[in-house]
Structure 1
Amino acid sequence: MLSRFFLYGCTGWVLEVLFTGAGAALKRDRSATATTYLWMHPIYGGTALALEHVSARLKPYPRPVRALAYTALIFGAEYATGWLLRRLLGRCPWDYSPHRWSVHGLIRLDYAPAWYLTALLFEPVRDGLLSATTRPATRHEPAEVVFVGGEQAGKEPDADALQVGVLASGFEQAPLDVSP
């Protein structure tokens, strides 16, 4: 889970840098200045882990409906963490106050399409991270080996197999001393 938290935070940073850089470029900023905040890493990481938890409960619903629920959770997390940072730091690192669709300067409702697109991408990203961060279960099933006349049935005996067979035979024939 810690590795996914770290990777989700980094993914969020990358998406934010791409989003803010593209926005700057569209405003004719030739350098396409992109910004993010250190605070965003734990916010993105924690929000994505919360989305993982919620996604299990929403599985019966169609993907577009799940994405709407994820969008609401994303807005809630952005508002709550912005409010908390404002209380702790005296200000929120992002301030949407000057924008028309801002709610208390902490979220922008006009970002709903971008958050919805992010929410649609969440499950494929989650599935990729889950497969990358969880080890496949290894099976420790004993191979069936049948020795017929000192040889493995259907195969030529190899030196290691014969050594194991000789060693096992030695244990079987050794006297068992159980005296105290």
Structure 2
Amino acid sequence: MKILKRFLIYGIIGLLLEVVYTGLASLLKGDFSMHGFTFLVMIPIYGLSVFLEPLHTLVRPYHWSIRGLTYLSIIWMIEYSSGFIFAEVLGSSPWHYSDILNINGYITLRMAPEWFLAGLGFEFLHDFLDTLPFKL
């Protein structure tokens, strides 16, 4: 039950962060409505973060830069794999990167800083969930 609860928490928080991120990106492009968006199919993808909790515990002793690069690599593997699976099963992926740094449209190296920081943010969220007086 704990895994399911955390799966949903990570999924929903990932969705919210994506909406905020895309909304701020819209603002930087001059869209003062700050239109943010995401895809509901992202809930299970972000929810998979629950399975990274043991990794967080394992890499905790390492420098933050090593941990961030580790998370970045895993996030890219998940993003690429899920994009590929969506394209194969549904005929297209919900996202398609088209910048010069994209790899088959499923990931983009341009997002390295964001995913690096997201991985480290995941540590904070994991630690926070572990400190709650009720079990999540």
TM-score normalised over the length of structure 2: 0.92
The separation in 2 between residues aligned to 1:130 and 1:91, in whole angstroms, is 37
- Per the TM alignment, residue 131 of structure 1 is displaced from its structure 2 partner at its CA by 2.9
User: Which consecutive unaligned segments of at least 5 residues does structure 2 have?
Assistant: none
- The structure number with the bigger radius of gyration is 1
TM-score normalised over the length of structure 1: 0.70
1:80 aligned partner: 81
Identity rate, percent: 38
The separation in 2 between residues aligned to 1:38 and 1:119, in whole angstroms, is 21
1:93 aligned partner: 94
1:122 aligned partner: 122
2:33 aligned partner: 31
Structure 1's consecutive aligned runs of 4 or more residues displaced over 3 angstroms after TM superposition are none
User: How many aligned residue pairs are there?
Assistant: 133
Task: Decide whether the 8 Å contact of 1:20 with 1:35 is kept in 2.
Answer: yes
1:6 aligned partner: 8
- Per the TM alignment, residue 108 of structure 1 is displaced from its structure 2 partner at its CA by 1.0
Q: Whose relative contact order is higher, 1 or 2, with alpha carbons under 8 Å and at least 6 apart?
A: 2
Q: Secondary structure at the match of 1:29?
A: coil
The separation in 1 between residues aligned to 2:43 and 2:84, in whole angstroms, is 17
2:17 aligned partner: 15
1:68 aligned partner: 69
- Per the TM alignment, residue 59 of structure 1 is displaced from its structure 2 partner at its CA by 2.5
User: Which consecutive unaligned segments of at least 5 residues does structure 1 have?
Assistant: 136-180
Q: Secondary structure at the match of 2:119?
A: helix
The separation in 1 between residues aligned to 2:68 and 2:101, in whole angstroms, is 21
For residue 118 of structure 2, what is the amino acid of its counterpart? T
More helix by share: 2
